[in-house]
Amino acid sequence: MATRERGEDVDVDRPSALHSTVEPGTVVLVTGGARGIGASLARHLAAEGAAVVAADVVDAEWDADGLGVTHVRTDVSDEASWRHLVTTALDRHGRIDALVNNAAVYQGLGAKRAFTDISVEEWDRVMAVNTRGVWLGMRAVHPAMKRQGHGRVVNIASSTVHMGVPYFAHYTASKGAVIALTRSVAREVGQDGITVNAIAPGIVETEATLALNDDAYLAAAAGRRAVPRRMEPTDLCPAVSFLCSRGSGFITGQTLIVDGGMAFS
């Protein structure tokens, strides 16, 4: 499989129907890449030929052997940690073509609870990772992307924003802020050749989801979809790949709901 040499310029902003997946050698940062949705995205992008740097606050729970994935311990809520991640990616690959902001506090919430029962400490922790982490990530990669004249940012939001899911106020608010950030930053960086979009997944059946929801709830949610089945992490992969690709160059500031047709926008 052909790969791009370190630092080599590629005309990645000229759209083509042939470029709906990432081009071989595309350098992609995926946060929260150690497990769950992030691991699935990292594996998928790497299998398409991308040079993936998977960042997470915990060690990876999957073997990257043969996929050429670099794992970097990263706390997305910390500015210095982002500097280390970006420096590592640039030292290894010479460029950063795409950032997938996936890391979020979700399973760590422990259980759904009324908004009146959420502590200030928990609220701040969710916002620090889910919202500040996205902002810090976009800010950290911007100089490299601007220098290149090209970049793709994909922020993982949530369909809870569109549905008003109860007992999840801090998580929903944090993901609503991600959508707002996506729109605002897209307006600022389009002139730099950078696109910024969000994907709002429905409830994805991962270990984290199973820890927070019982099977009856998940089955009922699946039955309410226009495509009435359960959602797997791999259902997100093609959409993320497209928004990281050359073919998405004239799409920015948008939020794509990927949930099998439960919430419509």
pLDDT reading at 260 higher than 80 = yes
Strand partners, 243: none
pLDDT reading at 178 higher than 50 = yes
Tell me which residues are annotated as active site. 171
60-70 pLDDT per residue, tens: 877 666 788 99
CB contact at 8 A, 156 and 104: yes
Q: For residue 7, what pLDDT is reported?
A: 41
CATH architecture for segment(s) 27-258: 3-Layer(aba) Sandwich (3.40)
Q: For residue 5, what pLDDT is reported?
A: 43
Q: For residue 3, what pLDDT is reported?
A: 39
Of 173, 20, 58, 45, the residue nearest 100 (C-alpha) = 45
CB contact at 8 A, 186 and 253: yes
Q: What value, to the nearest 5°, has the Cα angle with vertex 42 and ends 198 and 133? A: 50
Within 8 A by CB and 6+ apart from 36, the residues are 206, 207, 208, 233
Q: For residue 19, what pLDDT is reported?
A: 63
Kindly write down the DSSP assignment for every residue of 15-79, as one continuous string.
--TT-SSPPTT-EEEEETTTSHHHHHHHHHHHHTT-EEEEEESS--SS--TTTTPEEEE--TT-H
244-258 pLDDT per residue, tens: 999 999 999 999 999
Q: For 91-96, what is the mean pLDDT?
A: 97
Q: Where are the domains of the chain?
A: 27-258
Mean per-residue pLDDT over the chain, rounded:
89
pLDDT reading at 127 higher than 90 = yes
Kindly write down the DSSP assignment for every residue of 104-120, as one continuous string.
--SGGG-S---GGG--H
Q: For 54-64, what is the mean pLDDT?
A: 84
197-237 pLDDT per residue, tens: 999 998 877 777 677 677 887 888 888 888 888 888 899 99
13-43 pLDDT per residue, tens: 444 445 678 999 999 999 999 999 999 999 9
Q: For residue 16, what pLDDT is reported?
A: 45
Assigned token pair, 113: 């609870």
Backbone angles phi, psi at 210, to 5 degrees: -65, -25
Assigned token pair, 16: 């083509």
In this prediction the pTM is 0.89
